[in-house]
Structure 1
Amino acid sequence: MAFLDSVLEPPSYGWRDECGNLSEPSSNQILKEFFKRLNIFKNKKNWLSFMSWMMVVCLAPFLFIFIFKYFSFKLLIAAFVYSMIVMGTHGTIWHHRYCTHGAYEFSNKFWRFFTQNLTLRIIPEEIYAISHHVHHALSDQPGDPYNASGGFLYCFLADVNHQPINRSMTEKNYGKCVNLMRHTGVNTNSYVQYQKWGTLASPVRTIISVILNWSFWFAAFYLLGGFGLVCAMFGAAGFWAVGVRTYNYEGHGKGEDKRRDGVDYNREDMSINQIWPGYVAGEWHNNHHLYPKSARSGFKPYQLDLAWCYIKLLSMIGAVSHYRDSKKEFYQAYCAEPAAAKAAAKAYAKETKKALVADL
């Protein structure tokens, strides 16, 4: 916990107030911090946060060109599927269940590379994974980088204000950060390079990998459907990149207790299961907080989990060598009693029916 308490760069308004409660900055304070941390001219260590939002800016023209020049209902459907389902599910598969939680293992580097580049690369693994470990350790507590109690902006701009790694770690703690990312295949800086750039990732390698990824998908979409499809898909990816920043605010009840009996079994934090994120991205969030290292979080019959479908498919063809599936543990821990009661009721009804027949 001592490491996770200090692994992220604290904002200027701090994680806690004088009484130890969550520091709740005003909208002006949050926005001021946001633009300060995007300023690469004042501090080059801001490069990763700047790049993350610059990718959104670069995708915006594609969205406008699609809307005003190439719009069609066919392309709109394609854009909807790509942004809501493909991008969302990929985020769960790659950033969430693999990079952060290591819920499954690839058989070789090819399948890891294939999965990593299955969609346009937008979210840097470092920003997502390290901070998400902290989110689970301090969920809905001061220090949680996207604590919903801090408000919408607190969560929406968290990737810049709260999620970057601490820029003044000791060499030992930096080594722990590297270990958290080692399985992802992301090339990390040496400690000396980290002191210069303030990140795990190398600027040159990161920028080149994004350029190559975007070039591949530009060519692929162009060959499949021309520039209209390129604009629809790239624009949809930009739309998703903005929308996904709202998720943790919604997924933790907007700072209110919206947990429901029989639906949200984890009572250690305010996470909730939601139908829409569950169906389009496999993100049954309350289930996930119960079993964060499970490759499946859709446990109940109605909880479709497309991310799990992909992982299971790769396992069937030998691309995934190992995974954790906590469905059985979930039912044993939370559904055994109702199931037993149902079986007992069924047996009782059967015996009652037999007795009735005997009486007749």
Structure 2
Amino acid sequence: MSWAAVLTGVFVPLAGVAVAAALAWRNGLLGWADVGLFLGMYVAVMLGTTVGFHRLFTHRSFETVKPVQFVLGVLGSMALQGPLLPWVGLHRIHHQHSDQDGDPHSPHAPGRRGFWGRFRAFWHAHIGWALPAETTDLERYAPDLLKSPMLRAVNALFPVWAALGMLIPAGIGYALGGWHGALTGFLWGGLARLFLGHHATWSVNSVCHLWGTRPYHSGDESRNNPVVGVLTMGEGWHNNHHAFPTSARHGLKWWQLDVSYYVIRLLATVGLAWNIKLPTARGLEVRRAAT
């Protein structure tokens, strides 16, 4: 990924948040339509990333029908974190080398001491990893997905899905409030939603490898962080995930909110998901005893 693409992805949503906040301040009240577009787009796109890109396509933690695969692939692409196949490939590399040499976004780089050293390590884990010194063919780490013509098409049409992720809230805003509604819909349902979604997801790589609890032995520095858990629909229970990477459920305790898993269970209830993988009681006991 080029410097220009990464910096655009970082600073344009930030600018959008600033403009959206300024307009809301001037008008004295944030409209219900803007709140609805922000929350609706955030939840839909985040679930496309967590349920689709992560738990389904990367870890194969459950199976579902092709139409659901397509919808999840499109919604995940709207997060603007890259096309499906490279996203999956990069994440599989992360698990293969978690917090060791070869991990593309570990905050535990050797030799990073002192405040600035730790800050640079955090920045690398959060977003700096997207600026690699050399290009890696990430798609070869997803040979199972390459076999599907439909998923290859979802991957190839990434620019279309990315554009739709911005245009849909603008179009709904226009239908509800004319051109002013289109502008605020674009700002809140598009750029502001993108800003929060990016940093929430990146926090799984950075925050969840630095701060939180480690109830299970996972062989790395992954941690459970409840704040990230809520913001990312369950992805913040990261130590649980690294201990049991193929589990469709990340919030393994009843109080660990995991909206993504609830969606998977809902799909199963209506017959659209099956072969849902979960850790066994024995597996939980062994991992706990090893901490």
- TM normalised by structure 2 equals 0.75
CA distance in 2, matches of 1:305, 1:113: 22
* Alpha-carbon distance, 1:279 to partner: 2.6
**Partner of residue 117, structure 2:** none
Gaps of 5+ in 1: 1-36, 40-49, 168-173, 189-199, 337-360
CA shift, 1:104, in A, is 1.5
Question: Which residue of 2 is the match for residue 99 of structure 1?
Answer: 57
Q: Which residue of 2 aligns with 1:301?
A: 254
Is residue 74–residue 161 contact of structure 2 (8 Å, CA) maintained in 1? no
Pair 1:182–1:308, CA change in 2 (3 A): farther
1:278 aligns with 2:229: yes
Once the two structures are superposed, residues 305-350 of structure 1 have per-residue CA deviations (whole angstroms, 9 ceiling, x without a partner) of 10001111111112224321226455454579xxxxxxxxxxxxxx
Tell me the CA shift for residue 249 of structure 1.
1.4
The residue that corresponds to 1:247 in the other structure is 204
Deviation at 1:208, TM superposition (A): 2.9
Q: CA RMSD in A?
A: 3.4
How big is the shift at 1:234? 1.2
Deviations 1:276-315 (A, max 9, x none): 1223321210110111111111111111110001111111
CA–CA distance in structure 2, aligned partners of residues 185 and 240 of structure 1: 29
Aligned partners of 1:79, 1:130: CA distance in 2, in Å?
31
Alignment partners' CA distance in 2, 1:83 and 1:251:
24
The aligned residue for residue 179 of structure 1 is: 144
SS in 1 for 2:131: helix
* 2:265 counterpart letter in structure 1: K
Return the letter of the residue paired with 1:122.
L
* TM-aligned CA distance change 1:74 to 1:333, over 3 Å: farther
Query: 1:214 and 1:163 mapped to 2: Cα distance?
Result: 30
**1:51 and 1:110 mapped to 2: Cα distance?**
30
Other-structure match for 1:353:
none
Change (3 A) 1:148 1:276: same
259, 266, 275: which is aligned to 2:217? 266
Equivalent pair of 1:121/1:214 in contact (CA under 8 Å): no
CA shift in 2, pair 1:99/1:220, >3 Å: farther
Give the conservation status (yes or no) of the 8 Å contact 1:127–1:165: no
Q: 2 CA distance for matches of 1:175 and 1:118?
A: 23
- The CA distance in 1 between the partners of 2:288 and 2:60, in whole Å, is 26
Give the secondary structure class of the aligned counterpart of 1:158: helix
Q: How far 1:101 sits from its partner (Å)?
A: 0.8
Structure 2, gaps ≥5 residues long: 110-120
Q: 1:153 is matched with which residue?
A: 123
Which residue identity does 1:265 align to in structure 2?
Y
CA distance in 2, matches of 1:164, 1:182: 23
Q: What is the identity percentage for the equivalent residue pairs of Structure 1 and Structure 2?
A: 22
**Equivalent of 2:241, from 288, 308, 332?**
288
Amino acid across the alignment from 2:62: Y
Scaled by the length of structure 1, what TM-score is found? 0.62
- Provide the aligned length of Structure 1 versus Structure 2: 264
Letter in 2 for 1:93: V
2:160 partner SS: helix
